[in-house]
């Protein structure tokens, strides 16, 4: 008998705390598969952020530093500069990366730090209870935008993958979704590309993953999956925005 599906060795054999229908578990798996693929688990240092992803160390069998809210890419800068031979990635949510940590991500990217940033965009503050995020769509109701996000007052959602692609220091920037098998297969390919940049010492790589948050969206898992593919992907286009190897 041949085993065709197994747990990546970079993931621990534990249950996650994520809600049913949440995409963090899938994204964790894609990260772990890429770590396995390049055989870097043993020399990886992950940087956890604040939000639902804070328990990174509970799920990944790797060394982890936990960063203050928004500061993961600054922490990762310190880690990578001190240990340039390690594989270093951050895993951050939208509030963490695109609101409180905007300065840190922009400047780490602009310095071209040789790290990989996984950005999980679910258009809301998940752990805090569904408040408006910098990526909340216009009109979207959240616990702090009960009348829907108002573009004139709250601004429009920030497209981080496109924004970072503008910076000279960025080697790779892409946006993926994990709401269906086709998108997951494509996401897996992009994760590998992003990781390869760092493995080959070619600079800053960024991957934004659209993610469902059924609990805070007030939807069931199926409806949430559909929203990712329609409403979200309409505004946050999937694709590769920078790929210096192809330039």
Partner 1 sequence: MTKRLFVKGNEAVAMAAIEAGCRYYFGYPITPQSDIPEYLSRELPRLNGEFIQAESEIASINMLLGASATGVRAMTSSSSPGISLKQEGISYMAGSELPGVIVNISRSGPGLGGIDASQSDYFQAVKGGGHGGYHIVVLAPSSVQEMYDLTMLAFDLADIYRMPAMVLADSVVGQMKEPLVPNKRPAADLPDKDWAVRGKGDGEQRVVKSLFLGDGELEAHNWKLYRKYQELKARECRWEACQTDDADLLVAAFGSTARIAKTAIMMAREEGLKVGLLRPITLFPFPERAFLEATERTKKVLVVELNTGQMVEDVRLSVARDAEVAFYGRPPGAGSLPTPEELLEQIRQHY
- The residues of the shown chain that bind partner 1, judged by CB under 8 A, are 41-45, 47-48, 54, 57, 61-68, 71, 74-83, 86-87, 103-104, 106-107, 111
CA distance 92 to 163: 16
Q: How far is the CB of 116 from partner 1 (least distance, A)?
A: 15
Q: How far is the CB of 97 from partner 1 (least distance, A)?
A: 14
Q: 12-29 in b/e burial notation, b at 16+ Cβ within 10 A?
A: eeeeeebbebbbbbbbbb
Judged by beta carbon, residue 4 or residue 82, the one nearer partner 1 is 82
Judged by beta carbon, residue 48 or residue 97, the one nearer partner 1 is 48
In the chain the beta strands, taken as DSSP E runs, fall at: 44-48, 63-66, 87-93, 116-121, 124-125, 131-132, 170-177, 204-210, 239-243
Strand-pair category, 87-93 with 44-48: parallel
Q: How far is the CB of 12 from partner 1 (least distance, A)?
A: 9
Kindly tell me the number of DSSP H helices and DSSP E strands found in the chain.
Answer: 11, 9
Q: How far is the CB of 245 from partner 1 (least distance, A)?
A: 25
Judged by beta carbon, residue 44 or residue 205, the one nearer partner 1 is 44
Which tokens go with 80? 């990578």
Judged by beta carbon, residue 103 or residue 222, the one nearer partner 1 is 103
What residues have CB less than 8 Å from 244, skipping those under 6 apart?
A: 171, 172, 202, 203
Distance of CA 33 to the CA centre of its chain: 15
Phi, psi of 207 (to 5 degrees): -135, 120
Judged by beta carbon, residue 22 or residue 74, the one nearer partner 1 is 74
Which tokens go with 49? 């952020």
Judged by beta carbon, residue 62 or residue 163, the one nearer partner 1 is 62
Q: How far is the CB of 78 from partner 1 (least distance, A)?
A: 3
70 SS3 class: coil
Tell me whether residue 125 is exposed, middle or buried, using C-beta atoms within 10 angstroms of its C-beta: 0 to 12, 13 to 18, 19 or more: buried
Q: How far is the CB of 81 from partner 1 (least distance, A)?
A: 4
Q: How far is the CB of 56 from partner 1 (least distance, A)?
A: 9
Which tokens go with 246? 């192809």
Judged by beta carbon, residue 39 or residue 239, the one nearer partner 1 is 39
């Amino acid at each position: 008998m041949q085993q065709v599906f197994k747990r990546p060795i970079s993931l621990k054999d534990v249950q996650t705390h994520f809600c049913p229908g949440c995409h963090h578990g899938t994204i964790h798996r894609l990260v772990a598969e890429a770590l396995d693929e390049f055989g870097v688990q043993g020399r990886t240092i992950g940087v956890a952020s604040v939000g639902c992803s804070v328990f990174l160390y509970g799920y990944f069998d790797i060394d982890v530093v936990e960063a203050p809210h928004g500061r993961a890419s600054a922490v990762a800068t310190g880690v990578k500069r001190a240990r340039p031979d390690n594989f270093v990635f951050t895993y951050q949510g939208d509030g963490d990366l695109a609101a409180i940590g905007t300065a840190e991500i922009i400047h780490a990217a602009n310095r071209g730090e040789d790290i990989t940033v996984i950005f999980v965009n679910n258009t809301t503050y998940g752990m805090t209870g569904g408040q408006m995020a910098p990526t909340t769509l216009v009109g979207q109701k959240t616990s702090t935008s009960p009348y829907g996000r108002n573009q004139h007052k709250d601004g429009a959602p920030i497209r981080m993958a496109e924004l970072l692609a503008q910076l000279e220091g960025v080697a790779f920037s892409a946006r993926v979704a994990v709401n269906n098998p086709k998108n997951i297969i494509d996401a897996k390919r992009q994760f590998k590309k992003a990781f390869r940049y760092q493995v080959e010492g070619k600079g800053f790589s960024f991957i934004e993953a659209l993610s469902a948050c059924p609990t805070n969206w007030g939807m069931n898992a199926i409806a949430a999956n559909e929203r990712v593919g329609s409403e979200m992907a309409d505004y946050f286009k999937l694709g590769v925005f920078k790929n210096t190897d192809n330039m």
